[in-house]
Amino acid sequence: MSVVMEKKTTSSRNPFDVAQRQFDIAADALKLEDGIRLKLRVPRRALIVSVPFEKDDGSWQVVQGYRVQHDVSRGPAKGGIRFHPQVTLDEVKALAAWMTWKCAVVNLPYGGAKGGIEVDPKALSLHELERMTRRYTNEIAIIIGPEKDIP
């Protein structure tokens, strides 16, 4: 069976494109089977959530959040949460893929995942950051847990 991989010509600044190019190079060197290559080239699941939270002054702010599970073949997904004003879904997808590969290289029984929230944490008070993080966790609760995904 022959698999055609589409080669994107997008900017190298897109982290997910970089991760896919790195994967293609490694997969070629390892002579990975087409089925495995197709499975590991893209994330298993990506969740995009709105994260509304109350600010200390009583106003509300809504930020975008992401949780990407790249692969769970070796066990539950694991990976932290990136808080940054310019975090993107493509960046979180790349970080989740890299976590999959890091866990596999050191033979940890975990898959890769990563979360991200488009926010400047330095612009929030400790209480605002806590409220936002709790709300984000509540929004992604449908896909996390000790047997599924460990943020």
Known catalytic residue: 114?
yes
Has this prediction a pTM greater than 0.75? Answer: yes
Catalytic, out of 8, 55, 93, 114 = 114
Nearest to 76 by CA among 36, 112, 115, 39: 112
Each of the 151 residues of the chain gets a pLDDT tens digit; together they read 444 444 444 455 899 999 999 999 999 999 999 999 989 999 999 999 999 999 999 999 999 999 999 999 999 999 999 999 999 999 999 999 999 999 999 999 999 999 999 999 999 999 999 999 999 999 999 999 999 999 9
Torsion of CA 142, 146, 150, 151, to 10 degrees: 60
CATH of domain 43-145: 3.40.50.10860
For 44-108, give the DSSP string.
SEEEEEEEEEE-TTS-EEEEEEEEEEEE-TTSSEE--EEEETT--HHHHHHHHHHHHHHHHHTT-
CA atoms within 13 A on the CB side of 133: 15
Domain boundaries, the chain: 43-145
Which residues lie closer than 8 Å to 11 by C-beta, 6 or more apart? Answer: 17
- In DSSP terms, which residues pair with 83 in a beta bridge? 117
